[in-house]
Structure 1
Amino acid sequence: MKTAISKAILSRRQFVGTTLAAGSLTFAGRAAMAQGAETIRIGFVSPRTGPLAGFGKTDGYVLDRAREALAGGLEIGGKSYAVEILDRDTQSDPARAAQLAKELINAGIDLMLAVSTPEVINPVADACEAAGVPCLSTVMPWEAWYFGRGAKPGEPSPFKWTYHFGFGVGEFLKTYVSQWSLVETNKKVGVMYPNDADGNAVRAALAPQLADAGFTIIDPGAYETGTTDYSTQIALFKAEGVEIINTFPIPPDFAAFWRQAAQQGLTRQIKIMQTAKTGLFPSDIEALGSLGSKISSAAYWHRDFPYSSPLTGLSGQQLSDGWEAETGEQWTQQLGATLSLLDAGVEALKAAADPKSRESIRDAIAVLNVETIGGQVDFTSGPVPNVSPGPIIGTQWVAASEGPYKFDYLVTENATDPNVPVAAKLIPYNE
């Protein structure tokens, strides 16, 4: 299967000629321009380097697939358009994300796409809102996007140009209650929520709902990103006898915390180590060595999702197999998440009355209701305006039964999307 897909990818690349450089037009796109077609320009912003690089690692591969699919342009309303994707790396720096967004806006993009974490998405969305440019984003809790940018509960949305799809606190709650019921515990949960957009959103919204669901929340308070000593938090968790830990840190912070937890004996009492924002990718887990096995995570996309990309025609398995065949590296959930953003963005362009009108694109996003490789994106019935909710699925990293990779990433529950098949039982961390 991998060999066939790899050959298909190579043959497509030989035909199309790949891209000239990051953000450039395909040769076919240039040919369409030479024939007089107007060009739709899409800005794409993600973290390819820096502390959040795991989120952007597969973006180049996915963008190649998208550019191949768009090489012949788009036919919209009986008119042909070439499509140019200008992708930029934020280097995991929010200030750089804002600057790149402004540069792309000044370059005349018609649509902005932003992916992965508040450190990328929020500054890009704010720049687009200020400039009147339609922006679509995914891969961060929607509460951190909506309320973190100034919206108020119960009040009309202040956003006219920016839209976000994906999981929120409600999905985390369903997933965690479902996941944590799979192992018998004392229901004491030690939380590690940082002082950032994600941490503050889940502390305010998720922690009280977990308490209402019967869990005792042990919260040592917000910590600052980049903290190197977690002895105070670890001592509290040991003293309180917590058996579940829930975290929302950037990967380096979690690695430091969990290594110290092992050194100070905390890991021996933990039955469920539930990560979010880290523990999402093989590299996060492999970096922990033996401490990575049996860490619980949650997937905003998994190769077992039973959906296909309307842009590329690829299923989740095909997308993952293609990545592994080309790179020799294990698939990650970001593959499908990034492609779902491109799926939704292109579907919005196709639905726009005029894809060269920012207002028209904005209006098309506002009523978008399409199936992507990540599932349904529906802005007609969200929890708040400008938001379409999405699933997050309980998962666990376990030692692979056979190669070539060290760990398997298995689905353990599916409360937020029953269409996703459950593959394994959750194993206690300290078992």
Structure 2
Amino acid sequence: MNTTSSRLTIGVVAPLTGRLAPLGRPLTYVLEALAPQLRHVRNGSRCYDVSAVVRDSRSDPAAARRAVHDLTTTDRAHIVLTMAGTQVLPAVADTCEELGVPCLSTTFPWQAYVHSRGAGPGHSFQWTYHFAWGLDDIATVFTHMWEQAGAGHTVGCLWNDDLQGSLLRHEQYGFAPVTSARGHTLVDLGPYREPATDFRQQVGRMKEYGADIVTSAATAADLALFHQQARQAGGRPRLITCSRWLTYPHTHTTSVPGIHAELADARVATLVYWSPGHPYRSSLDGATCADLAHAYQQDTGESWLQPLGLAHALVETAHRALSTADDPTDREAVARAIKGTTFSTIAGTLDWKQGPTPNVALLRLSGGQWHPGPEGPRLAVVTNAGTPEVPVTGELLLT
């Protein structure tokens, strides 16, 4: 589909309101901060004016689909960017695929990105592209941290009854192939519905099997409840590794003080996909990761979040696609430009030509742990086995 114009439009679907709103702030911040670099795009001998249009997903899949329709038909976007939301993100990607507009997304394991859209590994989408990590990459990082507590653990798996849980349990794509190969035994503590009200059954199974480590993808509130009930039952695990919501400071995902105190006591370990210590630079303005994190904290008064670097890389990739496409006013040409892209960003090198599956570029992971600090939770990098260029900034603490 050709959208002939001398002006190019970058459409953005972001959670400005609703439960995901705290996780949408990094993307809107980056758009404002990079506005001077985004006003124009030079493609060959031509210079195009660029505008960025943001529409609210309202943290809801139906609203996200409407936002894509508006961006495509009213705003005539040449590319759509989005991030955050296990239901919202696939809704945006699917709608872009249906309407024939290039879409770029992140912050979602690639297996979940593919399966949530009714496809499987090896499937090739025409319009939609993603960069992130895999569930197997999370498992690898977590095992490195488990092994700092010794070899050959029995690990209790606290996974929900939704898509995320079913994929983590998957015998081919989930945790088992990685962890069993490294000598660990996984014990499923039993599925649960979010939000959870009682984990006594799961705590009982953890104690029955002698699991001294627990791994999860729970929300902050659910993980705090589990830890509280395990502690009260005298079965507090030595280490909890948790992905998904706990990659963010728990102070950002809930306002309940009791949850903050419980998770601070748990010292949750998680994956690290971006931090101020990562040694990468922006392809747009040369800013370092430390520069970006510092500017965010100065401008917003809030602590940096991991999605900040990925939001910046989203914008970098959109800019590069528009500047390298054979015809940036043609959506099909923009999609082809993403497909052939390999370049360095503030989140690391993105390579859609060598991804683990079509339409996906892989990000490498470090392992981190939330340590209490005077200004709230501090994410320390405690293992860099897969990212030797990222400095270790703390020791893994066991309870």
The answer to whether TM tops 0.5 is yes
Q: Distance in 1 between matches of 2:316 and 2:365?
A: 19
Q: Distance in 1 between matches of 2:263 and 2:89?
A: 31
State yes or no: 1:81 paired with 2:48: yes
Which residue type is aligned with residue 264 of structure 2? G
**Aligned runs of 1:247-326 on 2, under 5 Å?**
247-267=216-236, 270-282=237-249, 283-284=251-252, 287-293=259-265, 294-326=267-299
User: Which residue matches 2:14?
Assistant: 46
| Contact 1:278–1:284, Cα closer than 8 Å, also in 2 | no
Structure 2 residue runs of 5 or longer lacking an equivalent are none
Q: Distance in 2 between matches of 1:348 and 1:255?
A: 42
State yes or no: 1:206 paired with 2:179: no
User: Which residue matches 1:420?
Assistant: 390
State yes or no: 1:407 paired with 2:377: yes
User: Which residue matches 2:192?
Assistant: 223
Instruction: Return the offset for 1:69.
Output: 2.1
Comparing 234-243 with 177-186, which one deviates more in the overlay? 177-186
Q: Distance in 1 between matches of 2:211 and 2:295?
A: 42
Please give the secondary structure, in 1, of the residue aligned with 2:89: helix
Q: Distance in 2 between matches of 1:354 and 1:245?
A: 51
Instruction: Return the offset for 1:82.
Output: 1.4
Q: Distance in 1 between matches of 2:241 and 2:223?
A: 11
State yes or no: 1:157 paired with 2:136: no
Q: Distance in 1 between matches of 2:200 and 2:60?
A: 28
| Contact 1:43–1:109, Cα closer than 8 Å, also in 2 | yes
Find the partner of 2:84 among 101, 112, 116. 116
Structure 1 residue runs of 5 or longer lacking an equivalent are 1-36
| Contact 2:228–2:262, Cα closer than 8 Å, also in 1 | no
| Contact 1:113–1:135, Cα closer than 8 Å, also in 2 | yes
Q: Distance in 1 between matches of 2:8 and 2:15?
A: 23
Give the aligned length.
Answer: 385
User: Which residue matches 1:197?
Assistant: 163
Which residue type is aligned with residue 166 of structure 2? N
User: Which residue matches 1:168?
Assistant: 134
Please give the secondary structure, in 2, of the residue aligned with 1:409: strand
Instruction: Return the offset for 1:281.
Output: 2.2
Q: Distance in 2 between matches of 1:50 and 1:249?
A: 19
| Contact 2:65–2:92, Cα closer than 8 Å, also in 1 | yes
Instruction: Return the offset for 1:290.
Output: 5.0
Which residue type is aligned with residue 388 of structure 2? P
Which residue type is aligned with residue 239 of structure 2? I
| Contact 2:86–2:108, Cα closer than 8 Å, also in 1 | yes
1:4-51 Cα distance to aligned partner (Å, 9 max, x none): xxxxxxxxxxxxxxxxxxxxxxxxxxxxxxxxx822111112334433
% identity of equivalent residues: 32
State yes or no: 1:233 paired with 2:206: no
User: Which residue matches 1:375?
Assistant: 348
Instruction: Return the offset for 1:385.
Output: 1.0
Q: Distance in 1 between matches of 2:316 and 2:384?
A: 23
Q: Distance in 1 between matches of 2:231 and 2:20?
A: 24
| Pair 54,188 (structure 1): closer, same or farther in 2 beyond 3 Å | farther
Which residue type is aligned with residue 389 of structure 2? N
Instruction: Return the offset for 1:91.
Output: 2.8
User: Which residue matches 1:18?
Assistant: none
State yes or no: 1:244 paired with 2:213: yes
| Contact 1:45–1:120, Cα closer than 8 Å, also in 2 | no
1:140-171 Cα distance to aligned partner (Å, 9 max, x none): 00001113322234xx5241111111111231
User: Which residue matches 1:63?
Assistant: 31
Q: Distance in 1 between matches of 2:19 and 2:235?
A: 26
User: Which residue matches 1:105?
Assistant: 72
Please give the secondary structure, in 2, of the residue aligned with 1:181: helix
Instruction: Return the offset for 1:284.
Output: 4.9
Which residue type is aligned with residue 304 of structure 1? G
| Contact 2:104–2:314, Cα closer than 8 Å, also in 1 | yes
1:156-209 Cα distance to aligned partner (Å, 9 max, x none): 524111111111123113211212111126611111222333222222122322
Q: Distance in 2 between matches of 1:372 and 1:172?
A: 21
Q: Distance in 2 between matches of 1:412 and 1:371?
A: 25
| Contact 1:139–1:300, Cα closer than 8 Å, also in 2 | no
Comparing 330-339 with 285-294, which one deviates more in the overlay? 285-294
| Contact 2:273–2:306, Cα closer than 8 Å, also in 1 | yes
Q: Distance in 1 between matches of 2:69 and 2:166?
A: 27
| Contact 2:38–2:319, Cα closer than 8 Å, also in 1 | no
Q: Distance in 2 between matches of 1:99 and 1:80?
A: 31
What is the TM-score when the length of structure 1 is the normalising length?
0.84
1:314-360 Cα distance to aligned partner (Å, 9 max, x none): 21111111111122221111211111111112111111111110010
Q: Distance in 2 between matches of 1:290 and 1:61?
A: 30
| Contact 2:13–2:55, Cα closer than 8 Å, also in 1 | yes
